Structure 1
Amino acid sequence: MSLERDFCQVPPFEIIAPSEQRIPFVFSSPHSGRYYPQSFLESSRLNGLSIRFSEDCYVDELFASVVRLGAPLLKANFPRAFIDVNREPYELDPCMFEETLPPYANSHSVRVAGGLGTIPRLVGEGQLIYPGRIPLAEAMYRIESLYKPYHQALSDLLRATRDKFGYAVMIDCHSMPGHVRPGEVSDRPDFIIGDRFGQSCSSGLTRAVIQLLADQGYVVAHNRPYAGGFITEHYGRPLNAIHALQIEINRSLYMNEQTLFKLPGFDALCNDLYQFLSDVTALPDDIFVSTAMAAE
C-alpha cells in the first residue's frame, strides 16, 4: 500500500493554475478523477465501466476555463470510488473492514448508512464495490496519503487567496444523475446550487449564480437535494471571508450516462460555462466583503 504502487503513472491530484492568480476564486473538482489503480480494480467485484458510475465524469474539463480567467483548479485524479474527499476524514462503515474501527471514526452518519462514506461501499445505483471486507490499513493509507494532502492543498489555496485579495470564493464542482428531481422546479434541473441553506456563502453570491444560469435558459434548483457536502460545509465561512458554493451539473446535458461518452452538446455547454464563469468571477467585491465586515 503506497502511492508508488497506486499512482506511479499520474499524480493523485493536480493544481492547474495560471501563471498569476488574478481573481479571488478557487475551484475544486473532487469527484472527476478517472485514474483507477490496478490493485483497486483487482480487488473490486465490478468491471472497468461499472466502477465508474459514481464518477463526476468530465467535470474538470467543463470547468477548465477558469484557469484562463485567472483562478486555480484543484482536481482529483484518484476516483471517488477509491476515496471520497467530500466526506469527513473518518466516515467509515464498520461492515466494510476486517478490523474494528478506531473510536474517533464516524460510523453513524447518513452517508455511511447509504454506502457513501469516506471509503465508499457502493457506486451508482447500489452496486457493491468489494466482494468482501477489506483491511482497515487500506482505508488509513488512502486517508493519510490522498485525503489529507488533498485537503491541505485546498486549504492552502484558500488561505493564500484570502491573504492576497482580502476574501476567497471556493466553487466546488460536481455532476448529478439525469433522473434527479428536487420537487421545487417543475422540470428536470440542469443545475443545482448548494450553499448549505445560506450558511456557506453570501446570499448575494447564491442569487447571482442562480440568476446568471437562468438567464442562459437553464433550469436551476437551490439546495435540494444537494445543499453541499463536507467541502462546502467545512470551508464555507463567510464571516471569516471565505465563501463556498457547490454547483451540480446534470450529466444528461453532456454525456451518455450508460456509456460515459460525451454528447455532441459538450462543447456548447463548455462555452456556456465559460460565459457564466466569466460573469460570476466579475461580480463586485461588495457581494462578498460586506458579509465579513458585518461581523466586525
Structure 2
Amino acid sequence: MEKVLSFHQGTLPLLISMPHAGLRLTPAVQQGLVEPAQSLPDTDWHIPQLYDFARGLGASVVAAEYSRFVIDLNRPDDDKPLYVGATTGLYPATLFEGEPLFKDGQAPSAQERAGYLEAIWRPYHDTIGNELARLREQFGYALLWDAHSIRSHIPHLFEGKLPDFNLGTFNGASCDSQLAERLQGVCAKFEQYSHVLNGRFKGGHITRHYGDPANDIHAVQLELAQSTYMEEVEPFKYREDLAAPTQVVLQQLLETVLAWGKERYQA
C-alpha cells in the first residue's frame, strides 16, 4: 500500500482533518468502478488547497491520500449507519446520486476490504487519536475541525440547495455550546453566504467519536458547499475568484476556534 495519509504537526491545540480529499485508488477499486465514477465525482475536491493557510495559523493537519471509494474514513469500522435515509457506508456501494458504484460482480472482495481497513482506515484514526492526545497533554485541551465539502445540489441526499456553510456538532454533543454559538456568529457576519448548524450534516464518525467536551476535546465538522470555491462539474476546477473570499470566512472560523479555546482554558 502506498502512502495512505499526509500529516503536519502544528504548534497550537488545533487539528484539521481532511478524510475525503484523497484521490488514490487500489487496483481492485479502479478496475471495478463504473464509468461515471472514474472521475471520482464524490471527492471533497481541493480541500487541502482551500485550507492551505491553516499551517500558518499553527494548526496540525491530517489528510487522506486514498479515495472514499476505497474506504470511507468518516464512517465507523463496524459500518453502522450514521444518518436516517440515503447515505453511504464504510465501503461505498453507490454514488451520491444513488447509482451503483461498481460494475456487477466487480466490487473488491471482503478480504481486500479488510486489508483497506487495516492499512488505510486505522492509520488515519490512529493519527487523529494520537495527535488529540498529544495536544490535550500539552495544552490541557484539544480542538478538532473536520473539513469537508460537497456539491450544493444532490437530490438523492437532500432536497433543494445545500446552505453554503454547514456546521455540525452532533446536536451539541461534540463541542461546547458557546463555541458553536461563536461560529454561527462568524458565519452570520458574511451575509453573502448562507449557513446552518446541525442541519442535514450534523457531523460524521470523526466528529461524533472524537468530540468529547467533558474531557476537553471539542470537535466541529464543516460541510462546505463546493459552489463556494470551485466548479461542481468535471473537471472540477478550483476557482480562485470564488475561493479567496471563502477562505476569509474559513480563516475567521478557525481563528475563532483557537481564540475560544484560549479564553476557555487559559484565562
TM-score (norm 2): 0.88
Please list, as runs of the form range in 1=range in 2, the aligned pairs for 1:49-128 lying within 5 A after superposition: 49-50=38-39, 52-91=40-79, 106=80, 109=81, 114=86, 116-128=88-100
Return the letter of the residue paired with 1:36. L
Q: Over residues 105-131 of structure 1, what are the superposed CA-to-partner deviations in whole Å (9 max), with x where a residue is unaligned? A: x5xx36698461111101231131212
Query: Within 2, Cα distance between the matches of 1:66 and 1:225?
Result: 26
Q: Counterpart of 2:15 in structure 1: which amino acid?
A: V
Letter in 1 for 2:100: L
Residue of structure 2 in register with 1:99 after alignment: none
Instruction: Report the CA distance shift for 1:241/1:228 in structure 2 as closer, same or farther (over 3 A).
Output: same
Give the deviation of 1:75 after TM superposition.
Answer: 0.4
* C-alpha distance after superposition, 1:150-170 (max 9, x if no partner): 100100000000000000010
Q: Which amino acid aligns with 1:276?
A: L
1:79 partner amino acid: S
Provide the rounded CA distance (Å) in 2 between the counterparts of 1:33 and 1:276.
24
Evaluate the alpha carbon distance shift between residue 189 and residue 112 of structure 1 in structure 2; reply closer, same or farther with a 3 A threshold: closer
Aligned AA for 1:138? E
Higher Rg: 1
Q: What's the C-alpha RMSD, in Å, of the aligned pairs? A: 2.4
Q: Measured at CA, do residues 120 and 288 of structure 1 come closer, stay the same or move farther in structure 2, by a change above 3 Å?
A: farther
Quick check: 1:205–1:288 contact (8 Å CA) kept in 2?
no
Q: Deviations for 1:211-259, whole angstroms, at most 9, x for unmatched residues?
A: 1122123321011111101111100110011111111111111111111
Contact 1:187 1:219 in 2 (8 A): no
Secondary structure at the aligned position of 2:130 is classed as helix
Instruction: State the SS of the aligned residue for 1:123.
Output: coil
Hey, what does 1:213 align to over in structure 2? 187
Partner of 1:249: 224
What is the SS of the residue equivalent to 1:14?
Answer: strand
Equivalent residue number for residue 26 of structure 2: 37
Question: 1: CA distance between counterparts of 2:108 and 2:126?
Answer: 27
Contact 2:16 2:59 in 1 (8 A): yes
Residues 93-149 of structure 1 deviation map (CA, whole Å, 9 limit, x = unaligned): xxxxxxxxxxxxx5xx36698461111101231131212253110110000111111
Match of 1:228 in 2: 203
CA distance in 1, matches of 2:198, 2:110: 34
Structure 1 residue matching 2:132: 3-state secondary structure = helix
What is the number of residues matched between the two proteins? 258
- Separation (CA, whole Å) in 2 of partners of 1:213 and 1:112: 27
Identify the residue that residue 102 of structure 1 maps to in structure 2.
Answer: none
CA distance in 2, matches of 1:128, 1:48: 9
SS in 2 for 1:285: helix
Q: Distance in 2 between matches of 1:288 and 1:227?
A: 26
Unaligned ranges ≥5, structure 1 = 92-105, 291-296
**Distance in 2 between residues matched to 1:89 and 1:236, nearest whole Å:** 17
Deviations 1:15-53 (A, max 9, x none): 1234xx1x2111101011122334421122235644x12
1:167 matched residue in structure 2: 141
Q: Paired residue for 2:169?
A: 195
Q: TM-score, normalised by structure 1?
A: 0.80
Could you tell me how far apart the structure 1 residues matched to 2:77 and 2:122 are? 8
Q: Secondary structure at the match of 1:258?
A: coil
User: What is the CA–CA distance in structure 2 between the aligned matches of 1:214 and 1:187, rounded to whole Å?
Assistant: 18
Taking structure 1 as reference, are residues 221 and 253 closer, same or farther at Cα in structure 2, changes over 3 Å only? same
User: Structure 1 pair 276/110, CA: closer, same or farther in 2 (3 Å)?
Assistant: closer
